[in-house]
């Protein structure tokens, strides 16, 4: 199908064969009570950027009735200035020519994705970026991940994130057990189900180190104060075990897990290979049933799809009726196949009005405290993914790019601070930013205080006004 691009009638069809990202280059070329306010759909093509030798993966009519939108979430990419690195953030250290080129054609600013007083989790922040107010809909992360895994949560049931962690000499050695693979972690979770599971407790294998524990009854477990494993790198675990009312049951489960996991054959083999063992489970992010959320299509009038390597974003997508894309090579760590993810995401524009691509790699590097890995992840996103988004922008697709929250290297966890965002749409011009960085975004003076309202501005018919 030929692409009809409004004012851009003379351009080549969007259905032309993929060149650069397929490796076959050819010659020549805000709030309304319990739900977000439904905006009018955008009917305008967007601003043009310099043409790149990248060919689009979708074929669709881009007319007034069929505008296309693409959202890129760079999880945890923002951060703080690093004293040991010329007081630059990882976004400033990274070489990002494609992001910086888009900055000069769109609106750069800051967005607060975590409402005041709420935890700076990806659940809250990404819910905001998807256009839903966390103060209304966020009731805990465990149930969102359970939704992704199609685990039902009934009345009187509670679900917790269950990390397989590595503990050495009483300290948290690795919150991810060295990014244990799916096969080994599944075997360990099934061993926990066999030895610890009963009528009240069930275990469900997820991805890598991330799993789910479901508890029936024991209502007070949701009152326990639990600390995420990634918040205590190197910490003495006895100081961070669940505490307060309801914690005794959780602590007992965690203690019993050590007996099952410490000398399990999987860990015997891991030690023999010089890898850290997954010798304890760590429970946190507990929640019960979650309230129904209005679908994205009824809220914003758009069909949508999402790609992510983590259960959280897949769960959020399912909760609002987004199609979850299964793209081989997409992972929740720094081994993510960025090229495969952008290929699959752009292809999905053929049958969806909006596609959301969530990349976990910068956040994982931040939790690991690795400047090199975080900078590399940002540069891979820019080179493999944003380079394609520049081409999409020229061909009439609206583009929104933002982290969800900062994950500063110094603290190796999330903080509730604003992050840079970039929105490209026709009628916008560069607003003074030179690069996609925290300081450049702050200098523009554009600030969105309620992050969930950004989606309405992004999808509205009119060009957004920021002052």
Q: Are residues 240 and 100 in the same domain?
A: no
CA distance 386 to 68: 16
DSSP for 200-217, written as a single string = SEEEEEEETTEEEEEEES
Q: Any idea which residue has 């992001």 for tokens? A: 99
Q: What is the pLDDT of residue 59?
A: 38
Query: Is 439 in contact with 419 (CB distance < 8 Å)?
Result: no
CA distance 132 to 31: 9
| Three-point CA angle 423, 39, 455, nearest 5° | 35
> Among residues 264, 287, 310, which one ends one of the domains?
287
DSSP character for 356? E
Q: Are residues 134 and 149 in the same domain?
A: no
> Among residues 239, 260, 287, which one ends one of the domains?
287
CATH code for position 73: 3.40.720.10
Q: Are residues 128 and 29 in the same domain?
A: yes
Q: Are residues 62 and 79 in the same domain?
A: yes
Q: What is the pLDDT of residue 460?
A: 85
What residue numbers bound the domain in which 39 lies? 20-138+293-459
CA distance 261 to 191: 8
CA distance 50 to 10: 16
> Among residues 252, 287, 322, which one ends one of the domains?
287
Q: Are residues 272 and 332 in the same domain?
A: no
Nearest to 62, CA basis, from 348, 280, 353, 433: 353
Q: Are residues 235 and 117 in the same domain?
A: no
Q: pLDDT tens for the chain, 467 residues: list them.
A: 223 233 333 233 333 323 344 443 333 333 333 333 333 333 222 232 222 233 334 333 343 457 899 999 999 999 999 999 999 999 999 999 999 999 999 999 999 999 999 989 899 999 999 999 999 988 888 888 888 888 888 889 999 999 999 999 999 999 999 999 999 999 999 999 999 999 999 999 998 999 999 999 898 999 999 999 988 999 999 999 999 999 999 999 999 999 999 999 999 999 999 999 999 999 998 988 877 889 999 999 999 999 999 988 998 999 999 999 999 999 988 999 999 999 999 999 999 999 999 999 999 999 999 999 999 999 999 999 999 999 999 888 999 999 999 999 999 999 999 999 999 987 778 899 999 999 999 999 999 999 999 999 999 866 666 65
Q: Are residues 158 and 39 in the same domain?
A: no
Residue 419 domain-assigned (yes or no): yes
DSSP for 125-178, written as a single string = HHHHHTT--HHHH---HHHHHHHHTT----TTEEEEEEEEEEEETTEEEETTTT
Residue 357 domain-assigned (yes or no): yes
Model confidence, pTM: 0.76
CA distance 400 to 425: 9
Q: What is the pLDDT of residue 463?
A: 61
Q: Are residues 302 and 432 in the same domain?
A: yes
Q: Which residues pair with 305 in a beta bridge?
A: 323, 355
Q: How many domains does the chain have?
A: 2
Q: Are residues 426 and 278 in the same domain?
A: no
Q: Are residues 346 and 389 in the same domain?
A: yes
3-state secondary structure 34-98: CEECCCCCCCCCCCCCCCCCCCCCCCCCCCCCCCEEEEEEECCEECCCEHHHCCECHHHHCCCHH
Q: How many CB atoms lie within 10 A of CB 393?
A: 25
* Helix (H) or strand (E) run with residue 293 in it: none
Q: Are residues 128 and 213 in the same domain?
A: no
């Amino acid at each position: 199908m030929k692409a009809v691009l409004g004012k851009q009638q003379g351009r080549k069809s969007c259905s032309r064969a993929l060149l650069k990202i397929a490796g076959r280059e050819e010659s020549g070329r805000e709030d309304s009570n319990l739900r977000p306010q439904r905006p009018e759909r955008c009917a305008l093509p967007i601003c043009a950027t310099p043409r790149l030798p990248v060919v689009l993966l979708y074929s669709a009519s881009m007319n007034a009735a069929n505008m296309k939108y693409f959202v890129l979430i760079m999880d945890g990419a923002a951060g703080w200035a690093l004293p040991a690195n010329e007081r630059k953030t990882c976004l400033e250290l990274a070489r990002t020519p494609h992001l910086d080129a888009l900055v000069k054609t769109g609106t750069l600013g800051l967005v607060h994705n975590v409402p005041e007083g709420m935890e700076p989790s990806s659940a809250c922040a990404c819910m905001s970026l998807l256009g839903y107010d966390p103060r209304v809909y966020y009731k805990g992360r465990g149930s969102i991940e359970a939704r992704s895994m199609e685990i039902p949560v009934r009345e009187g049931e509670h679900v917790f994130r269950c990390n397989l962690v590595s503990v050495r000499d009483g300290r948290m050695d690795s919150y991810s057990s060295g990014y244990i693979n799916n096969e080994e972690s599944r075997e360990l979770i099934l061993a926990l189900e066999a030895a610890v599971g009963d009528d009240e407790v069930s275990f469900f294998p997820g991805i890598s180190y991330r799993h789910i524990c479901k508890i029936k009854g024991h209502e007070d477990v949701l009152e326990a104060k639990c600390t995420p494993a990634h918040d205590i790198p190197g910490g003495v675990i006895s100081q961070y075990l669940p505490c307060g009312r309801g914690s005794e049951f959780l602590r007992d489960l965690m203690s019993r897990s050590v007996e099952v996991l410490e000398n399990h054959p999987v860990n015997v083999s891991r030690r023999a290979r010089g890898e850290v063992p997954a010798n304890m489970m760590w429970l946190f992010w507990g929640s019960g049933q979650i309230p129904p959320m209005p679908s994205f299509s009824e809220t914003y009038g758009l069909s949508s799809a999402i790609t992510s390597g983590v259960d959280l974003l897949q769960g959020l997508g399912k909760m609002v009726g987004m199609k979850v894309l299964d793209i081989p090579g997409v992972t929740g760590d720094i081994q993510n196949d960025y090229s495969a993810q952008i290929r699959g995401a752009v292809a999905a524009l053929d049958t969806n009005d909006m596609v959301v691509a969530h990349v976990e790699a910068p956040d994982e590097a931040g939790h690991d405290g690795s400047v090199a890995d975080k900078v590399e992840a940002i540069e891979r996103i820019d080179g493999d993914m944003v380079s394609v988004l520049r081409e999409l922008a020229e061909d009439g697709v609206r583009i929104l790019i933002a982290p969800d929250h900062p994950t500063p290297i110094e603290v190796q966890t999330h903080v509730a601070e604003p992050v840079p965002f970039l929105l490209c749409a026709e009628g916008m011009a560069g607003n003074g930013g030179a690069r996609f960085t925290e300081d450049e975004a702050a200098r523009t003076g554009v600030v969105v205080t309620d992050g969930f309202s950004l989606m309405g501005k992004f999808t509205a018919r009119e060009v957004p006004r920021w002052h």
